[in-house]
Amino acid sequence: MENSEHVIKLSDKDNVLVLTVNLNKEDSFKYNGIDYKIKKPIKLGDKIAAKDIYEGEKIIKFNMSIGSATQDIMAGEHVHLHNMKSDFIDSHTRES
């Protein structure tokens, strides 16, 4: 796994990168031979697409699916609830 001062890839099979710093609009960096340019501020710990992820494609973090893209997400774009949905189903119910 390659790391940079801006992101970390938690597993070789992940299609997202986790930010290790806050990034501002117009910030740019290179990771694994790919140039990334940030379009909107993104906070430390949030995810960006490591590659283009297409609508319906699984979001993979730490070699596990954490959800599906609800729209096309281009490399370097913020990946969060505005463009993905969780695929997890509650495994229990809570009674009042």
Domain segments of the chain as ranges: 7-85
% of the chain surpassing 90 pLDDT: 80
For residue range 12-47, list pLDDT tens digits in order: 999 999 999 999 999 999 999 999 999 999 999 999
- 28-31 vs 34-37, strand pairing mode: antiparallel
The Cα–Cα gap between 28 and 67 comes to 26
Overall CATH class of domain 7-85: mainly beta
